[in-house]
């Protein structure tokens, strides 16, 4: 149970931190190889680019979990608590509908990429590994929205603002 609780609290942060460390180390190695040894690595920029793509999709769920999305709080604070709760739930329903919609189509993209058999140019890994970032990111976003939806419906609105 402790592992599940830890994963629920820190999954996105752990992966984002690991990806950032790998990106920094790989690009540092690339810079050293290029300027010190006058030799460029063909795979380093591609790996960094794909880790960045994964980081971008994972950060969607991270932002939802930490309520750091772009929003206007002033209007919300002027409303009575019941109206605040209704507005928050409405925004979460719209977000849930959007992320569920794009999740469905991200599966289609991955399936077509699997069928094509396309490989990345330098690393020669299947391209669908890169496209799975959308499935994982949007899936985690749906999960985090459902999680926050339950929190708003059951608790005080102030925790979600």
Reported confidence tier of residue 159, pLDDT bands at 50, 70, 90: low
- Mapped onto helix, strand or coil, the DSSP state of residue 119 is strand
Give the position of tokens 């994982």. 136
Least confident range from 78-87, 103-112, 141-150: namely 78-87
Domain that holds residue 106: 2-159
Confidence (pLDDT) at 50:
97
What is the C-alpha to C-alpha distance for residues 155 and 158, in angstroms, rounded to an integer?
A: 9
What is the C-alpha to C-alpha distance for residues 59 and 19, in angstroms, rounded to an integer?
A: 12
- Return the DSSP state at 40: -
- The H-assigned helical ranges of the chain are 2-35, 44-65, 73-78, 81-116, 128-154
For the chain, the maximum distance between any two Cα atoms, rounded to a whole number of angstroms, is: 65
Least confident range from 108-112, 120-124, 150-154: namely 150-154
Burial 141-152 (b: 16+ CB within 10 A, else e): bbebbeebbeeb
- CA-only gyration radius of the chain, Å: 20
Question: What H or E segment, with its residue span, contains residue 27?
Answer: helix 2-35
What would the pLDDT profile of 16-46 be if each residue is shown by its tens digit?
Answer: 999 999 999 999 999 999 999 999 899 999 9
Which of the two residues, 123 and 73, has the higher pLDDT score? Answer: 123
Which of the two residues, 3 and 156, has the higher pLDDT score? Answer: 3
| Backbone dihedral angles phi then psi of residue 126, each to the nearest 5 degrees | -60, 135
Domain total of the chain: 1
């Amino acid at each position: 149970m402790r592992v599940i609780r830890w994963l629920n609290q820190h999954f996105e942060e752990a992966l984002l931190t690991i990806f950032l460390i790998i990106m920094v180390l790989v690009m540092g190695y690339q810079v050293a190889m290029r300027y010190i040894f006058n030799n460029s690595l063909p795979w380093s920029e591609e790996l960094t680019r794909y880790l960045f793509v994964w980081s971008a999709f994972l950060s969607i769920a991270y932002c939802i979990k930490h309520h750091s999305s772009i929003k206007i709080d002033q209007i919300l604070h002027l409303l009575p608590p019941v109206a605040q709760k209704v507005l928050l739930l409405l925004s979460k329903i719209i977000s849930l509908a959007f992320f569920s919609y794009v999740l469905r189509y991200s599966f289609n993209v991955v399936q077509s990429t699997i069928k094509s058999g396309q490989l990345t140019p330098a690393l020669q890994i299947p391209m669908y590994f890169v496209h799975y970032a959308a499935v994982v990111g949007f899936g985690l976003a749906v999960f985090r929205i459902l999680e926050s939806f339950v929190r708003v419906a059951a608790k005080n609105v102030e925790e979600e603002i």
